[in-house]
């Protein structure tokens, strides 16, 4: 029987509709990544761009030898060369395309999936994220930084199949981020506690949606999951900033991420996926009317992993509902039983 579930943070309703799983054409073929494995066509195997940052497992240096490399995007969504100019005409407000779009090349080897990287390599990628976030924070007009990865063609991934991720800095807080911030703040104002901390406590007690956990992190299928086998990674200790909260725990988090990506690969036929690091916006002066003065207390950074196994259709686009065809508890049970070992 279908069931409606409400996301406790943003108030979004999700329909758990098991009958939808039987509809033909509803599932994406996870094996159709549509990329080439030929190194000669890969721009990341032989870099031509001037690196913004080069990382090695010994120390961060600028050299021709690298383990993780950061470059400016060849096709940036936003550019720091643009002047920050805000204008409003009647109802309509604009800002020139100010911001930053960087690409993190996660390995010099021609490997597509982060699941196939060593834990120490994923840890170095996480350290690189922290360094770049802290550097971008110095830009006075930057309000928010999003770190994300697209793996596979249908998830927006690069056609060459070289493991990489993105960092985009924006002068405003994106809508999805504002929804989470507002939901967290409303709960804190009412209960005087962080909703994410309460969520982690309840999930660890119930255990029904926990996929894996370590000393400092819990990985779970959310109660109102939007997508099949969606998994959130949350730090057990409260912190609103990824760049602060992950310090010293990069290897532990990297090990958990590899375990989960291996579960996706082994149990879901290596599907396309996205992951997003949800962190608090920077707390610096800005004309944005929605200032998050209590964000350090009410928000909690986390990572969202989202396999791309289904297609969003007209109902979802027209209503904002998401439809998920497997109950989250069954998804968690399935993932727990998949071998995610290195």
The CATH number linked to 238 is 3.30.428.10
In a domain, 34, yes or no: yes
Q: Are strands 302-307 and 100-105 parallel, antiparallel or unpaired?
A: unpaired
Q: How many domains does the chain fold into?
A: 1
Residue 50 tokens read as 């001037």
**pLDDT averages per 10-residue partition of the chain, 342 residues:** 91 81 48 52 75 71 73 76 71 77 92 94 96 91 92 66 91 88 95 97 98 98 96 98 97 97 94 94 66 85 93 71 90 91 58
Task: List all residues 6 or more positions away from 106 whose beta carbon is below 8 Å from its beta carbon.
Answer: 68, 114, 117, 121, 122, 125, 163, 164, 165
Q: Is residue 251 part of a domain?
A: yes
pLDDT cut 90: percent of the chain above it: 56
d(CA 115, CA 113): 5
Beta bridge partners of 60: 55
Is residue 271, in this structure, part of any structural domain at all?
Answer: yes
What's the confidence (pLDDT) of residue 26?
A: 45
Q: Judge whether 48 lies within some domain.
A: yes
Give the per-residue pLDDT at 322: 84
Parallel/antiparallel/unpaired status of strands 164-170 and 231-235: unpaired
Judge whether 341 lies within some domain: no
Q: Which pLDDT value is given to residue 30?
A: 55
79-130 per-position pLDDT tens digit: 666 566 777 777 877 777 678 899 999 999 989 899 999 999 999 999 999 9
Instruction: Please tell me the pTM assigned to this model.
Output: 0.89
Supply the range of the domain harboring residue 275.
3-336
38 in a structural domain? yes
Q: Residue 74: its pLDDT value, please?
A: 78
Residue at 179 is within a domain: yes
Q: Is position 342 within any domain? A: no
Which residues contact residue 211 at a Cβ distance below 8 angstroms, ignoring those fewer than 6 apart?
219, 220, 221, 231, 260, 263, 332, 335, 336
């Amino acid at each position: 029987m279908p069931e409606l579930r409400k996301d406790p943070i943003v108030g979004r309703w999700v329909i758990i509709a098991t009958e939808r799983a039987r509809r033909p054409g509803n599932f994406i073929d996870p094996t159709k990544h549509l990329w080439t494995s030929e190194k000669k066509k890969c721009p990341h195997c032989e870099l031509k761009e001037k690196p913004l940052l080069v990382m090695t497992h010994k120390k961060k240096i600028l050299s021709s030898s690298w383990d993780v490399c950061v470059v400016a995007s060849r096709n940036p969504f936003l550019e720091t060369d643009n002047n920050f100019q805000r204008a409003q005409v009647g109802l309509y407000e604009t800002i020139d395309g100010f911001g930053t779009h960087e690409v993190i090349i996660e390995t010099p080897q021609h490997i597509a999936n982060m699941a196939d990287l060593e834990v120490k390599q994923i840890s170095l990628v996480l350290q690189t994220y922290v360094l770049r976030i802290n550097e971008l924070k110095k830009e006075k007009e930057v309000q928010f930084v999003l770190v994300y990865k697209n793996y596979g063609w249908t998830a927006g991934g690069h056609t060459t199949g070289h493991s990489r991720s993105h960092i985009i800095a924006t002068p405003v807080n994106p809508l999805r981020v504002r929804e989470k911030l507002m939901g967290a703040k409303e709960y804190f104002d009412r209960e005087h506690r962080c909703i994410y901390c309460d969520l982690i406590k309840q999930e660890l007690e119930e255990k029904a949606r926990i996929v894996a956990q370590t000393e400092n992190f819990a990985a779970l299928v959310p109660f109102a999951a939007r997508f099949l086998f969606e998994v959130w990674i949350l730090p057990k200790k409260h912190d609103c900033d990824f760049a602060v909260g992950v310090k010293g725990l990069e290897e532990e988090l990297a090990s958990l991420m590899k375990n989960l990506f291996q579960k996706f690969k082994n149990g879901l036929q290596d599907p396309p996926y996205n992951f997003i690091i949800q962190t608090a916006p920077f707390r610096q002066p800005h004309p944005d009317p929605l200032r998050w003065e209590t964000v350090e207390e009410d928000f909690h950074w986390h990572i969202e992993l989202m396999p791309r196994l289904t297609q969003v259709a007209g109902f979802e686009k027209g209503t904002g509902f998401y439809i998920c065809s497997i109950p989250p508890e069954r998804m968690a049970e399935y993932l727990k039983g998949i071998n995610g070992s290195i």
